Amino acid sequence: MARKRNHRVDEQVRAAVADLLQTELADPRLTFVTITEVDVTPDHDVATVYYSTLDPTVLSRDPARTGGDRIADPGEVDDALQAAAGRLRGPMARRAGLRTTPELRFRPDPVREQAARVEDLLRGLETRGEVPPGTGGIEDDGQEPEG
């Protein structure tokens, strides 16, 4: 019989990793990283840490050319997180109050890509005329609702 996961442990590890990224690491590649979710195995051997990064197209790349923060590309962020995983492991376990120290495995959060795919599919329906624009698929037949 499979044991149920402990969501409290997941949240404690998420909060500890997020705090450590902000306070203990000085890697500029991790400036715009958000820890979105953590899945800790029931035996606490592995913690899969899901993260998201700021889309580089959202902010302009230093239009005044002042040498400000540069947004790291997803590959650089992944490299930085993989390099920091070993250093974060012990402090994370202490902050989360865990007896065993799980291995940290960082993965990009797939939610943004999934949302973009759904949005593209919906746009495709609108452009083909299958869904009237701005209706969300609800058609108005011109009659007043009964009631």
Class of domain 7-56+69-127: alpha beta
pTM listed for this prediction: 0.72
Residue 52, CB-side half-sphere exposure with 13 Å CA sphere: 10
The residue type found at 147 is: G
The residue type found at 129 is: G
**What is the phi-psi region of residue 103: left when phi exceeds 0, alpha when psi lies from -120 to 50, beta otherwise?**
beta
Residue 130 pLDDT class (50, 70, 90 cuts): low
pLDDT of residue 1 exceeding 50: no
Copy the structure tokens of residue 3: 């044991």
* Per-residue pLDDT reduced to its tens digit, 94-103: 999 988 999 9
pLDDT of residue 106 exceeding 70: yes
